[in-house]
Structure formats: structure tokens, C-alpha cells
Amino acid sequence: MAKKRKKKKKELEKEMYEIEVEDWEVDYHFGLNPLRKDFGEGVYWEHPKMILTGKILSPVVEKASTTRVELAADPQMDDHWKAKPTILSAKAIGYMQIPRGDDTLSFYCSIPSRSLPFLTLAVDSGKIKFVTIWGTKLKWRRGTISSVSLSKDREEF
């Protein structure tokens, strides 16, 4: 009997995306939890998020002329600093995509919910001008996000 060969999984290329923030807004939803299993435990569901729009500085993405970074508060991430967090491992903090028929590169990131008020205040006071996102290189207009950094000055790498 012949041995089956295992295919080596090709490691995805990592990429750094630099964005200059031009505008921002916040969205907020609070109500009864429509699908308890999908949105977590409890009878209520809260969904606050901040949306940063701007232009991509690097890398050059031919299919996108603008960017949209959505930072959504995720209560499941609130205990990440504890000795025994509820989420023990993760492959990404979000994803990115260029929807068909659109020229906007959209980033969707989950952050600890206690961070959102701090970040909103920083953006409102003009202290956030640049976003740096590390993730996979876009493949078929999609990718995953491993880290996000917001700062007043463009980071030097």
C-alpha cells in the first residue's frame, strides 16, 4: 500500500497596511438579544463601533482607492489580560476585504470593549492620524488581521 503524501500548507504572506485617517464616525446599537447563541449569553445585545475612513499609504492596492477601518467593541476580549482568559488562542482579530464592485478596502477589527471610549476620545481630540494594520496579504480580495495600531505619527519600520 502506497503512503499518502501530506500536502504542506503554504504559509500566508504577511503585509503591513498603513492608513491615513481623514474622517471618523461612531455607531451604537443596544437592544434585546435576538439570537442568544450567536451574540453571546444574556437577554441584551450591545454593539458599539468606531469607523475610521481614509486613504491607504502603503502598500499600493490597485483595486482600492479608499479605506474603511471598523473597530468593534467585543466583550469576549475584555479578559485577555487575566491569568485564565476565556479565549485561549486566536488566529486573527479581524478580517479585511474589498467587496465586489467597490473600490474600498474595508478592515473589520474586534477590540476589548473597555478600549473603545479611550480610542473615540483620542480620535475626537485629533490624536489619532494614522492606523497601521498587520495581516495577511490580500488574496482574492480577502485577508485576516493580526494586529492594529493607532497613532498620531506615522510609524517608522
pLDDT at 134: 96
Q: CB–CB of 74/108 below 8 Å?
A: no
Name which of 152, 121, 145, 150 is nearest 16 in CA terms. 145
Q: Residue 63: how many CB atoms within 10 A of its CB?
A: 11
Q: Any idea which residue has 476580549 for its cell?
A: 77
Is residue 4 pLDDT above 80, yes or no? Answer: no
Dihedrals φ, ψ of 12, to 5°? -70, 140
For residue 7, what pLDDT band results from cuts at 50, 70 and 90?
A: low
Distant-in-sequence, close-in-space partners of 51: CB < 8 Å, separation ≥ 6: 24, 25, 26, 27, 68, 69, 70, 71
The lowest-confidence range among 13-22, 68-77, 137-146 is 68-77
Q: Residue 31: how many CB atoms within 10 A of its CB?
A: 10
Start-to-end CA distance of the chain, whole Å, equals: 52
For residue 8, what pLDDT band results from cuts at 50, 70 and 90?
A: low
pLDDT at 67: 96
The lowest-confidence range among 28-32, 88-92, 115-119 is 88-92
